[in-house]
Structure 1
């Protein structure tokens, strides 16, 4: 597959200027605690012709940016964005291939080419969002949205995309301009940098080649796994995300134990990003804008001894700790004490596996007028099979077709062989299947 030179780049500005009093966007407390990185998501659409949609997408995006005005601005400093209406860089590229052929055997290195802009850590003066529309010879498109995580989480991006799609269809939507995370979580200048969740990560990074593996758990396989996980407690509800998280965690821990044979095995730390909108009492609006996630943390010091049912229970237990009382403390004057408690629970050393779930947030429903996406992906090109770097083991979960879950798994290469030969992953997950 070959992507020709970018054929156009244009900055899409809001169709109406952002009011002067909204020009400085102050980060919320939770925004402060997120690392400054660009996060990509790609939505793939099968079409017969893309010649008449590019201008329509630009116009409807311009309308949508009136509400989502921070995306059209730049980072001002560590605590704010300049909503100056400079516009989102919107590039169009031609792909010399058919999307249907690419989807027969999705390739992570090729996904790399769908991303707009250079790979870099965003800083002051950089765009908050970039978009690239990749147009295939067959008329299909792969739409890549890359955004600075300090401004929004993936729930906010899904809301943005659904509103953009509604504008593209002429359906309209309710303004969300006052629903921002600054209201429930105002900025705190007194929070030490080493108290934030993102500050833990450097302690657990490892050096090596990191490779991406893709696994699909079909609905039938998930039904069997959920039944097994619920056998010890039939009244307990087990979600698709719970069971897939537990399966991957178990296989990872066993791979770590095998690779570390004869050496001291570090405890294995698992984190799962939790949507605080659902956890607050009463719940916050589902479309509130900004970062409203927090990492639930699970730790095992004897990883080879854990059964799947135990791990499912542990996943549920650590997520259950992020409840209404937790959110209340995070919003209260005792927030500093809570952050110190969490920091003190962490080990000095650990082998780290981070989970983020994009399932059940509406990404698979984003329809610009030509149908829902046939697939979605998010591959960070810094994780290249041809580079040695310092990184982390990471899992991204997506909705797949027919009610399944797709897992995009980035692992240090030294764990891959042990992970892939694990009986449970081989039995219940399909490795890199084609997208039908």
Structure 2
């Protein structure tokens, strides 16, 4: 492993990168992404990727630094850890039958436990025998969200292609709009509210692919109002989950069902924040069913849109001013003592599928999916990603007791394909 440093040093006045209030609310840990590229990535091309990465880190200097403490990063130019690993297989064979156990090996192993001194980003190129690569990116969620990672990758790709674009300085509107609040204690932060719903269970991974044609049919059948691809898949996953929990809990005292959905604040602010705004600019909407019952998909679609609509320009304004403490206290008071929890997030429509380093766009993308043996506690989770030809992939990790009931849903059976070939 080597460390890629910015091609020019970070100015002293930028050495300390202070997080925003919203950064404070994020889970303290790493997030993961893999982009898969077919082609012949020779040693010369890999060296070119390193050199263009070095130039990109001049703008995205926090990624070449380390975690200083819970509220800041040290942009010390120590370098971004970068490694190259060999995969004794052909990518085309792997993509015909994606294997999660192999996918999870594409990430560099953790150097140590989370804490001060951690690298903010780590990259590993996994080189297949055929010359294709799987580029894995591991980044600290305290510093950035997936939209910021997409912006960084787009800039890196432009540098790799030699497009000669001039990039503005790092957009730090999050820090100016949502100044950090060191006085906030851990028990006032949202991830601690939700952490009480983590469970020690065996989780099962499922990958469901909704093709563009299937989504068009679903949108036409289920809604007389405007909905997005993400809205439709979110509603389907929620309906499946409610039905599975209801079935499994029959004859028992049933806990409320709590669902959260990550919302991109860049597009909710008035006026909207630029898409290249750096940091974490997301907030979790939530829905709670105290007496869950099966619902029609159109009804769930309305609830999804209504729930997300609550996070509007006024919400963003208040979050950045006098309303932050009120929102956090309100959130804490609304959380039941016990609940069956489903967390959802979408990485669709943020440009990840368009990132081209000169050899073509990625043919696929994936995230790290921990097995039960890799985590002490977990939660039911769904990640939505762009798929080829305008579809959506839903990656779910579910408590094993819900899987059978989840897959009985007619919409899953008729409109989703289970772990199909990528190519």
Alignment partner, residue 191 of structure 1? 184
**Which of residues 206, 231, 234 in structure 1 aligns to 2:199?**
206
Alignment partner, residue 216 of structure 1? 209
Alignment partner, residue 264 of structure 1? 253
Alignment partner, residue 405 of structure 1? 392
Is the alpha carbon distance of 1:355 and 1:388 closer, same or farther for their aligned partners in structure 2, counting shifts above 3 Å?
closer
Is 1:370 aligned to residue 359 of structure 2? yes
**Contact 1:209–1:389 (8 Å) recurs in 2:** no
Please report the RMSD computed on the Cα atoms of aligned residues, expressed in angstroms: 1.4
CA shift at 1:120, angstroms?
Answer: 6.2
Trace 1:75-154 onto structure 2 (pairs within 5 A).
Answer: 75-118=67-110, 122-154=114-146
CA shift at 1:337, angstroms?
Answer: 1.5
Between 164-173 and 286-295, the greater mean CA deviation after superposition: 164-173
Is the alpha carbon distance of 1:119 and 1:419 closer, same or farther for their aligned partners in structure 2, counting shifts above 3 Å?
farther
Is the alpha carbon distance of 1:148 and 1:429 closer, same or farther for their aligned partners in structure 2, counting shifts above 3 Å?
same
Give the gaps of 5 or more residues in structure 1. Answer: 1-8
Trace 1:28-427 onto structure 2 (pairs within 5 A).
Answer: 28-118=20-110, 122-171=114-163, 172-230=165-223, 234=224, 236-380=225-369, 383-384=370-371, 389-427=376-414
Is the alpha carbon distance of 1:49 and 1:20 closer, same or farther for their aligned partners in structure 2, counting shifts above 3 Å?
closer
**Contact 1:166–1:173 (8 Å) recurs in 2:** no
**Contact 1:208–1:388 (8 Å) recurs in 2:** no
* C-alpha distance after superposition, 1:243-271 (max 9, x if no partner): 10010111011111111121111111111
Q: Structure 2: how far apart are the matches of 1:398 and 1:194?
A: 32
**Contact 2:201–2:372 (8 Å) recurs in 1:** no
SS of 2:22's equivalent in the other structure is: helix
Give the length in aligned residue pairs: 422
Alignment partner, residue 5 of structure 2? 13
Q: TM-score, with normalisation over the residues of structure 2?
A: 0.97
* C-alpha distance after superposition, 1:348-395 (max 9, x if no partner): 211110011000000000000000000000023xx2155673211111
**Contact 1:209–1:387 (8 Å) recurs in 2:** no
**Contact 1:61–1:164 (8 Å) recurs in 2:** yes
CA shift at 1:183, angstroms?
Answer: 1.4
Q: Structure 2: how far apart are the matches of 1:276 and 1:226?
A: 25
**Contact 1:393–1:410 (8 Å) recurs in 2:** yes
Is the alpha carbon distance of 1:276 and 1:174 closer, same or farther for their aligned partners in structure 2, counting shifts above 3 Å?
same
SS of 2:59's equivalent in the other structure is: coil
CA shift at 1:422, angstroms?
Answer: 2.3
Q: Structure 1: how far apart are the matches of 2:113 and 2:409?
A: 35
* C-alpha distance after superposition, 1:105-163 (max 9, x if no partner): 10111101100132865310110000000000001000000000000000000000000
Give the gaps of 5 or more residues in structure 2. Answer: none
CA shift at 1:199, angstroms?
Answer: 1.4
* C-alpha distance after superposition, 1:285-325 (max 9, x if no partner): 11000000000101123333311111111111110000001
CA shift at 1:180, angstroms?
Answer: 4.2
Is the alpha carbon distance of 1:188 and 1:388 closer, same or farther for their aligned partners in structure 2, counting shifts above 3 Å?
closer
